Structure 1
């Protein structure tokens, strides 16, 4: 028999059958008088939460549980009409599904299963819940539904690992096309900020070497020196004014732009959800979907509003500063410029490391919202069965879990960035070590360095640290945006069944 791709995935990556074994199917259908199994799932835990093999089968009028007994299978058959309610109880290592019968009577059946089987069990649960609400679900191929449900998490994991981060970002940036004018104004303002920021340190060095020293040594009149100094100071004031005006334009345009793109994504995502089948919603947790429409699209705002421009601005600033430092003094300039590729590589590697943390954090955050979405709408059931303490414990468990994950993120970046900044500041110390002999005129090679040039160099060196810090902050923002964009695009790429 030819296997589907999902069945091949199950056979390759798991140790469970890729379909219900024929002897199990025959035993269930024999108990049903020959009526076929329409839908099924493997419930792989026993009451002691040990691995087991129990098959949950759904027929036209019956539900069956098939357990291994000796060399054969023992079948417990339940009429679908006797099922009055369904209760799912998620747990840390597995979940429990309870079929409830008449009031004050014992449960009709209780099955336990690992997270791997959750989607297949939810298919069965969804059909039974629809029947309780008076609705029918079109019959589907049971083998295909089972294989698709078990293989889906493996497919998603493969897509997440193999996904090209650059491709996700470029796709996200595609949403900026309809707002080209605002993007252009934001980038123009950012480039103007970069250019004018390079002027004040140069003017400071020029004043020291070409105005202050000549006046002190009597080579220039005080009146002429004062005039040139005031012109330079006025130029600095104009530069700062232009810089702040450009910053206002950049912030205002990009902040609004980020909100517009986030709005477009929310609209597109919600409209796409309306076109997806009920089967999709039976496989997805409500909390996970709410997180993607709300939190994930909101996290993209920070990247779109500031991340794109700030990373570009920082890159342009690093290039501009490198050129200026090398032109001022190529020996000292090399001390600052040569380590930059190593710093950027370290930031990139740290970003990849952080991406794995963020993926786990988003998943655990979705588990928190799953509890809220399950409990709050079903509060009547919680109170009717006195489950308040259990639900509180379940929420606290997941809340602590997600907090611990975020603390691991904070531990990682708060360790990496102080070390990196120490290395960046260390280059400044090396610059001083090489500059002092030349300033004092004791350099073995007889190379001198003027005070004005060194002051300009130090001011530019101070500016060198800011782009590195921004790139680091934006690296975290980009990682968060990439993870959220992937989760959003996963829904948008789901085809209606």
Structure 2
């Protein structure tokens, strides 16, 4: 999925106001940066003035003693400028990185609280671009953009003031090419706005493509799609390259034009200044100082363009970041109910649910599971089984009806408390690049290793973990690549057990494991569910025959409900599923 949205203005005071709010905790660093910026601007014209004085007073009169003194003063001035510039660079970069650290934490916290529907519609690569590339671009607003622009403008004002004070006629001569500079700058600014937006767009698309295709590399190789996907990547990479070349092309035109304008100003100064010297109107030192002033005027203007482009890119990135932060896709957590004890009784009352509009996934669903009972959900793919458990944990919100936990609407419960009450073992197990122990505890310091060991023994996974190098400290690779599917599933069972939930959900938890491992899990399943309410989703009907209640779902509606024997006696949907499955395996 490509990111096709180009947003952002050349300069947006609203975005700047929002960004500057993040500087409040670092006001001291900010004001130090401002003071250093003012100092740099104040000392900028000092060197040309000293050179003018030295040339007119000491060099032309061959006063070597005075010349030596002036050289020492100029050396000290250069050292002072270097020290000030060092601390200026240090403080502005510290400010930028501190602000970005805070924004990145806020963005990550916001993303972790977004409901799953948002991730269904948003490519992961785009979010990675927002939290890494775009934020790094924003940091440049503080370290290379906003304060530097203020400093360059201040330096420009100071130097022009000194120039007009020294000789206003010479100053006006130097400024004759300035309208050309302003016109070229405006054209360049407008061109770069579009170019930078295009660069950010294709960076996002490139990240999205790489994230999806590296994650799905196995599928690509299984179906021998390497050549086709390489061609797709080449097309996106070509657009990414072209966007950068287009931006650099504008630079390659603008800066030579700028050099020509500076050369014109220098030529005019030399022509008019020479006439003034020959007419004994001004001293040679003034012309030499003005030659330096030309660089000091046009260099800040040239750097202002660079800084403006930095600001331009920052505006585009800030717009994208705040678009994520302004997303109202988080699950509302208005509930505060956190009882001391949860029995685990679940009731669905007239529940209707749709992912989009009114394309109902669940239609008027009603059932009740008593505390400690096991409920099994069966049905064809798309019947609504996984949706039932997703809305129980409030990963998605229902449109009609009520879901009750111990007789209380789940929206009344504190959201974190509700989700800690429910543990889910999914078919597609996700393991982080971390140790087995941390994948089980999820770095929860309240879970002790002895509890993990006890849970591993209950599940029957202790022996295989102890055979791993470093046992519980074995480093699992990304998505559990170094473990078999069965081993990864056993780790997820331990994870669910150690969090001691009152409600246990098994979503196709044995569908991806071998028969031996399945038997291992089945032998421990009674211990796992003891004292807990359990909801089991399974295609293998052999795994749910002991369930207290079985619900048959079809196109979001409950078709049958009862025990295994009761449903077989009905000779309906469940009986057809049972016969189809067991006849297909020769039973």
TM-score, normalising length: structure 1? 0.62
The equivalent residue for 1:433 is 271
Which structure 2 residues correspond to residues 319-468 of structure 1 after superposition, within 5 A? Answer: 319-337=157-175, 339-340=177-178, 343-344=181-182, 346-441=184-279, 448-468=281-301
Quick check: 1:195 aligned with 2:33? no
- What SS does structure 2 have at the residue aligned with 1:432? helix
Seen in structure 2, the aligned counterparts of structure 1 residues 426 and 166 have a Cα distance that, compared at 3 Å, is farther
* 1:134-188 deviation per Cα after TM superposition (whole angstroms, max 9, x unaligned): xxxxxxxxxxxxxxxxxxx8xx66xx36796232233223322211111111221
Question: Following the alignment from structure 2 to structure 1, what is the Cα–Cα distance between the partners of residues 203 and 292?
Answer: 44
Q: Deviations over 1:227-254 (max 9, x none)?
A: 4333322221221111111111111111
- Aligned positions of 1:16-27 closer than 5 A: none
What CA deviation, in whole Å up to 9, does each residue of 1:186-207 have, x standing for no partner?
2212221222221121111112
Q: Which residue of 2 aligns with 1:205?
A: 52
Cα distance change on mapping 1:170 and 1:350 into 2, 3 Å: farther
Matched, 1:282 2:129: no
Task: Give the number of aligned pairs.
Answer: 330
**Would the alpha carbon gap of residues 172 and 425 (structure 1) be closer, same or farther in structure 2, given more than 3 Å must change?**
farther
SS for the counterpart of 1:409 is helix
Residue 15 of structure 1 is matched in structure 2 by none
Answer whether contact 2:10 2:315 (CA < 8 A) is retained: no
C-alpha separation between the residues in 2 aligned to 1:178 and 1:345? 40
CA distance in 2, matches of 1:173, 1:340: 32
Residue 270 of structure 1 and its aligned partner are, at CA, apart by 0.7
Among candidates 179, 185, 206, match of residue 26 of structure 2: 179
**Partners of 1:460 and 1:323 in 2: CA distance:** 11
- Indicate conservation of the 8 Å contact 2:104/2:131, yes or no: yes
Q: Secondary structure at the match of 2:26?
A: helix
- Stretches of structure 1 that go unaligned for 5 or more consecutive residues are 1-89, 91-114, 119-152, 217-224, 442-446
From the two aligned structures, give the one with the greater helix fraction. Answer: 1
Structure 2 Cα separation of the partners of residues 310 and 421 of structure 1: 22
Distance 2:11 2:58 in 1: 55
- Contact 2:175-2:265 within 8 A present in 1 as well: no
| Closer/same/farther in 2, CA of residues 212 and 362 from structure 1, 3 Å limit | closer
Report what 2:582 is aligned to: none
Hey, what's the Cα distance between the residues in 2 that align with 1:418 and 1:427?
A: 14
Aligned pair partner of 2:101 in 234, 246, 263:
263
Q: Call closer, same or farther: CA 1:488–1:196 in 2, change over 3 Å.
A: same
Cα separation, partners in 2 of 1:380 and 1:211, compared to 1, 3 Å: closer
C-alpha spacing 1:170/1:428, structure 2 compared with 1 (3 Å): farther
Distance 2:59 2:10 in 1: 59
Q: 2:288, 2:68 → 1: CA distance?
A: 19
Deviation string 1:315-349 (CA, Å, 9 cap, x unpaired) is 11111111111111111101234554663464244
> What TM-score does the superposition give when structure 2 sets the normalisation length?
0.53
Within 2, Cα distance between the matches of 1:341 and 1:484? 31
TM-aligned CA distance change 1:324 to 1:163, over 3 Å = closer
Structure 2 distance, partners of 1:163, 1:438, is 44
Shift of 1:415: 0.9
Whether contact under 8 Å (1:322, 1:337) holds in the other structure is no
| d(CA) in 2 for partners of 1:429, 1:277 | 65
SS in 1 for 2:144: helix
Are the structure 2 counterparts of residues 338 and 187 from structure 1 closer, same or farther at C-alpha, using a change threshold of 3 Å?
Answer: farther
Distance 1:489 1:344, change over 3 A: farther
| Equivalent residue runs for 1:230-269 within 5 Å | 230-269=68-107
Q: Within 2, Cα distance between the matches of 1:229 and 1:420? A: 35
Corresponding residue of 1:76: none
Question: Does the 8 Å contact 1:303/1:478 carry over to 2?
Answer: yes
Give the direction of change, closer, same or farther, for the CA distance of 1:162–1:227 in structure 2 (3 Å limit). closer
Counterpart Cα distance in 2 of 1:432 and 1:460: 13
Structure 2: distance between partners of 1:166 and 1:338: 32
Q: Given that residues 204 and 452 in structure 1 are in contact (C-alpha distance below 8 angstroms), is that contact kept between their aligned partners in structure 2?
A: yes
Contact 2:56–2:285, Cα closer than 8 Å, also in 1: yes
- Out of 202-211 and 175-184, give the one that drifted further: 202-211
Is the 8 Å Cα contact of residues 197 and 239 (structure 1) preserved in structure 2? no
In the alignment, is residue 293 of structure 1 matched against residue 131 of structure 2? yes
Match status 1:308 vs 2:155: no
Change (3 A) 1:315 1:163: closer
Structure 2: how far apart are the matches of 1:395 and 1:290? 18
